[in-house]
Amino acid sequence: MAGAISQAAFCLAYAWTARRRAWPAAVGSGCIAFAVATVALTRLAPPLPVLAPVVFAVLAAAVRAMPRLPHAGGMVTPPPSWDLPARMAVATAFVVALTGLAGVLGPRLTGLLAPFPLYAAILTVFAHALDGATAAVSVLHGLLVGLVAFAAFFMVLAATLPAAGVLVAFAAALGVALVLHGGALWMLHRR
């Protein structure tokens, strides 16, 4: 759950940097913000009743703090032929590297690094490179809204797993996440 705070930091730093800079500076800024937030969180281990409201408050504040750019009407530039293979290669390299370093990093730091918004970063960078900052900020805004369901999934899982067991806990967490994702999609389409 705490990793959602680091993801929010990534989104805000990338989005605000993207307003004036190209994708390399924006992704660098986002990665630095993610790293700073993750390092700060490694020292904290609050109980679930404290962590959950903090995470949801941070996500709500991050959505409000996103820069307002003109509406992006969807993908304008058709992706080049190398687009999908490049995305797959970048994502695979990161997953393999994190898995290989898990023993060195330890379970807490690996757990905080695991929610690095890898796929969102890849989508954002490609959107930024092909269609500009507005498209990148739109991707990040969608990620922030979706993080509510991500955080809720882990909150419900942590709260129910000890007493209810694996099957019931995962079913409850998945149910809550699906309801929240449905609500988020409805909200986004309403806008």
Contact status, residue 131 vs residue 76, Cβ threshold 8 Å:
yes
User: Tokens 């500076």 correspond to what residue?
Assistant: 25
pLDDT in tens, the chain (191 residues): 888 999 999 999 999 999 999 999 999 999 999 999 988 988 888 888 999 999 999 999 999 999 987 765 555 677 778 877 887 887 788 778 878 888 888 877 777 677 778 878 888 998 899 889 999 999 999 899 889 999 999 999 999 999 999 999 999 999 999 999 898 888 777 76
Q: What is the pLDDT of residue 76?
A: 63
Q: What is the pLDDT of residue 81?
A: 83
Q: Is 7 part of a structural domain of the chain?
A: yes
Contact status, residue 98 vs residue 110, Cβ threshold 8 Å:
yes
Q: Is 72 part of a structural domain of the chain?
A: no
Q: Is 159 part of a structural domain of the chain?
A: no
Distances 120 to 1, 104, 169, 182 between C-alpha atoms, Å: 17, 26, 27, 19
Q: Is 153 part of a structural domain of the chain?
A: no
Confidence (pTM): 0.81
Q: Is 168 part of a structural domain of the chain?
A: no
Q: Is 185 part of a structural domain of the chain?
A: no
**What residues make up the domain containing 15?**
3-66+84-145
DSSP assignment letter at 2: T
Q: Is 133 part of a structural domain of the chain?
A: yes
The count of domains in the chain is: 1
Q: Is 114 part of a structural domain of the chain?
A: yes
